[in-house]
Every structure is written in C-alpha cells, then in structure tokens.
Amino acid sequence: MKKTSIFLILALFATNACQTSKEKETLSAETSASKIQQVKEIPVSWQDQMKLLDSSLTDIYPLILSPQDFQRKDNQEFILSRLEVISEISKKVNHSPMSQMSDPSLNFISFDFRDQAELAKNSFEGGNKDFARFELLKTTQFCIECHTQSNRGPSFQSAKATARFEKLNLLDQAEMLTATRKFDEALLKYKQFFGLKETSWDYQFRAESAVHNSLSILIRFKRDAKQTKEFLNLVKQSVFIPVYLKNIIQVWEEDVHTWSLAFGKNQKPSLAQIKVWMERVSSRTFDYGSLGGEIWSQLSISYLHEILDTIDQQNKTEIFWLLGSAYVNSMMHYQTSLGQKYLQSCIRSASHTPLAKKCYGKLEEYVFDMYSGSAGTFMPLNEEIQLKDLKKLAY
C-alpha cells in the first residue's frame, strides 16, 4: 500500500481519537434542509470563487471530521449541496487566468483537487459515504500546500467562528485556518496546541504535521527567522513532543540561526545561494534522515516558486529539478505530489539531457520508495507505465 494511504488512515484514526466527548456531541440541526443556502451560480472572478470555496469547506469540515454526523440523515442534503459547490469550483479553477502563470504548481494542485472533489461527490451520491468522507479529509492539504508555497498572496482574518467550528479540536481548527489563508490565527492555534500540558499519544502522532504546517507559514510565507526560532523553542518544550522531533529541532535551530545571519527579512537570495541551500538539504538528510533538511527545503521552496514566475523558459528546467528535489526531501513529502510533478516536468522539458537523467533518477528512487513496504514493492500499473515512458524521455 502506498505510504500516503497508510498515513491518512492513521490520521483519520488520530483525528477521531483526539476529539473530546464534548466535541463528539451530535451537531445541531443547523444543517437541516430548511436552512441550506443553495448556490445557484459559481462566481466568475477568481477571488469570489476562492471566497465561496472557503465558506463551503468551512461549513462542511466539522461534519467531515465526525463519522456519526457525516452519516446523519438530516445532514445529507446540506453535505451534498456543499460537495456540489466544491466540485464545480474545482473545475473552474483549472480554467482560471491564475493557472496560466509561469509556475505550473497551481495547475498541478488544481487538477488533483478537481479529481479529489469529483471522486468525493460521486462516492457520496453513490452511497459510499465513508469513502467520500475519507477522500474529503485530504482536500484541506491541497489548499495548505498551495497557499503556503511562498509569500505571495494575502493572509486573511476570520469572520466570527461558527458553533460547529468552535467544537473542533485545536489542530483541526488550525488546519482549517491554514487552508483558508488565515495564517496568524492558525499559528496561534498551533502554539496553543504545543502549549497543552496533558500528554496524549494522539498529540504525539499529529505533532509532525502540525510542525510542518507551522514552519510552512513561518518560513515559506512569512520568511521570518525570529518567529521561527521562537516557535521551535516552544515546540521543544512541549510535554508530548516525540523524541525524534525534539532531537531534530536542535539541528533546525542551528539552521535557522545560519539563515538569520545570512539574510534579513526583506533580502532575497540568488539562485546560486539557493543551490547551496539544496546542498545543505542533501547533507542534512544524509546525516539526520528525512527530517534533517527541513529548514533549507522550506526556504528553497519559498524562493524557487518566486523565481519560477520571472525566469525565462530556457532556464526553467533547472528550477523544476530544484523544486522537485526540495519537495521530495521535505518533511511531509507524502502529502503532496508536487515533488513528483516537478521532476516529471524537468524530464519532459529537457528530454535526453544530463539534467533529465538526473531528474529521472530522483523520481524513480522516490516512486519506488513510496510503493515499498515490508512485503516488497507493489506499484500500480499506471505508475509503472508512466515511469517507463519518462525513462524513455530521459534516456
């Protein structure tokens, strides 16, 4: 089984286990059919589409987190109405002018999001409610990865929280706020989470994802070494932080210190400097494992996306290689397909070149690792065919 699936199954268990008895109370009938606001038409502008997607996800997310409430008969019409909106918006995103930017990441994410939303809606309509809920749990990560790529775009403030939202635990609130670009509020929730004094196995399990999302905001979006250092110090003192994370934080603190000395908040690195960072990622990964290069991966991702929007077509292939490497070496690489897709773009845009071969080698290693486990390597046929085609392009 693909490692992504294993992680998400465990995450599903952890999400449910983290809820207190109060949070597990059945949601009120505010989602009854009489109170459903049907959306007759999807807005034309990108901004209005995103606002509608924000409100639809915020409406439905508390129900997604509760198996009981997701199955409740009087919630079905409400859920379907929101799924229809999310599905329609996901189709519009693919045709948005934003998707024509030089950086193809929006296309990558929007196509995956569209397929995910459509699969969830069709599964729900077909009566496979549990599977639909499981697929919907993945949707917020698409938003988080898209919104925290770099410092582009705004950070919003929330309207008054709904009763449903208030019933969510701290991490579920934080993830929803991150997905909808409410970064300052999300960071506050993450900090409150790591400040909790009770210990829990479920808290330990979810700590890695919480750290990754927080660092994505602090490093990729805010590019703030001082706040990053303060946050890591808070996490290090948490009573439930796993030992492996606590140990690696010492390495990250050294890297944040190096970053703070080299660059001010408003200074931008050259491409040559980013290549040095990527060499540090490789070195840290070799010395400390997959988490070692997180700081330099996050920094590289933030600035490489910015460079990709301005660089000429001839030099894009190298950026694809660097971004692909940064993503597959990042902490939560199994939650996004961006690393694979940038490496694939590298191969396709510079076929039969040394760089294409380099990209293919990295991609092949990553894909084999993703589909390998104690029982061996079991790769889906479509992945196998795609790898063979890409190998022909590379060599």
Q: Which three-class secondary structure string do you get for the chain?
A: CCHHHHHHHHHHHHHHHHCCCCCCCCCCHHHCHHHCCCCCCCCCCHHHHHHHHHHHHHHHHHHHCCHHHHHCHHHHHHHHHHHHHHHHHHHHHCCCHHHHCCCCHHHHHHHHHHHHHHHHHHHHHCCCHHHHHHHHCCHHHHHHHHHCCCCCCCCCCCCCCCHHHHCCCHHHHHHHHHHCCCHHHHHHHHHHHHCCCCCCHHHHHHHHHHHHHHHHHHHHHCCCHHHHHHHHHHHHCCCCCCHHHHHHHHHHHHHHHHHHHHCCCCCCCCHHHHHHHHHHHHHHHHHHCCCCCHHHHHHHHHHHHHHHCCCCHHHHHHHHHHHHHHHHCCCCHHHCCHHHHHHHHHHHHCCCCHHHHHHHHHHHHHHHHHCEECCEECCCHHHHHHHHHHHHHHC
Q: Over 50: is that where the pLDDT of 20 sits?
A: no
What's the confidence (pLDDT) of residue 25? 42
357: nearest Cα among 321, 327, 328: 321
Instruction: Give the pLDDT score at 368.
Output: 92
Say how far residue 383 (Cα) sits from the centre of its chain: 22
Higher-confidence residue of 287 and 227: namely 227
Among 31-40, 101-110, 373-382, name the most confident range.
Answer: 373-382
What per-residue confidence (pLDDT) applies to 365? Answer: 92
Tally the C-alpha atoms within 13 A of residue 281's C-alpha that lie toward its C-beta.
Answer: 24
Are the C-beta atoms of 174 and 211 separated by less than 8 Å? no
* Model pLDDT, residue 107: 74
Q: Are 305 and 103 in contact (CB under 8 A)?
A: yes
- Least confident window among 134-148, 181-195, 312-326: 134-148
Residue type, 366: Y
Q: Which residues contact 215 (CB under 8 A, 6 or more apart)?
A: 228, 231, 294, 295, 298, 331
pLDDT of 169 strictly over 70: yes
Of the listed ranges 186-200, 225-239, 332-346, the least confidently predicted one is: 332-346
> What residue type is 299 in one-letter code?
L
How far is residue 29's CA from residue 69's CA, in Å, rounded to a whole number?
Answer: 10
At residue 136, the pLDDT reads: 82
Burial class of residue 100 (count of CB atoms within 10 Å of its CB; 0-12, 13-18, 19+)? exposed
Distance CA 58, CA 66 (A): 14
pLDDT of residue 267: 80
Q: What is the pLDDT of residues 337-351, one digit of tens each?
A: 888 999 999 999 999
Higher-confidence position of 87 and 155: 87
Q: Which residue has the tokens 């996490």?
A: 235
The token duo for 81 is: 């109405």
What is the b/e burial string over 216-253, where b = at least 16 CB atoms within 10 angstroms of the residue's CB?
Answer: bbbbbbbbbbebbbebbeebbebebbeeebeebbebbb
Q: What is the C-alpha to C-alpha distance for residues 344 and 149, in angstroms, rounded to an integer?
A: 19
The Cα 356–Cα 321 span in angstroms is 9
Q: pTM of the full predicted structure?
A: 0.76
List the single range of 60-69, 141-150, 287-296, 314-323 with lowest mean pLDDT. 141-150
In this predicted structure, the answer to whether residue 13 has a pLDDT above a threshold of 70 is no
Instruction: Please tell me which residue, 268 or 101, carries the higher pLDDT value.
Output: 268
User: Quick one: pLDDT band at residue 215, thresholds 50, 70, 90?
Assistant: very high
| 123 in Cβ contact with 135 (< 8 Å) | yes
Can you give the pLDDT at residue 12? 39
Between 125 and 100, the more confident residue is 125
For the ranges 212-221, 327-336, 359-368, the lowest mean pLDDT is seen at 327-336
Residue 377's DSSP bridge partners are 372
Give the total residue count for the chain: 395
* Amino acid 5: pLDDT: 41
Confidence at 332, pLDDT banded by 50, 70, 90 = confident
For the ranges 13-27, 165-179, 210-224, 305-319, the lowest mean pLDDT is seen at: 13-27
The CA distance from 353 to 395, in Å, is 8
Please, are residues 150 and 183 in contact by the beta-carbon 8 Å criterion?
A: no
Instruction: Give pLDDT, residue 102.
Output: 64
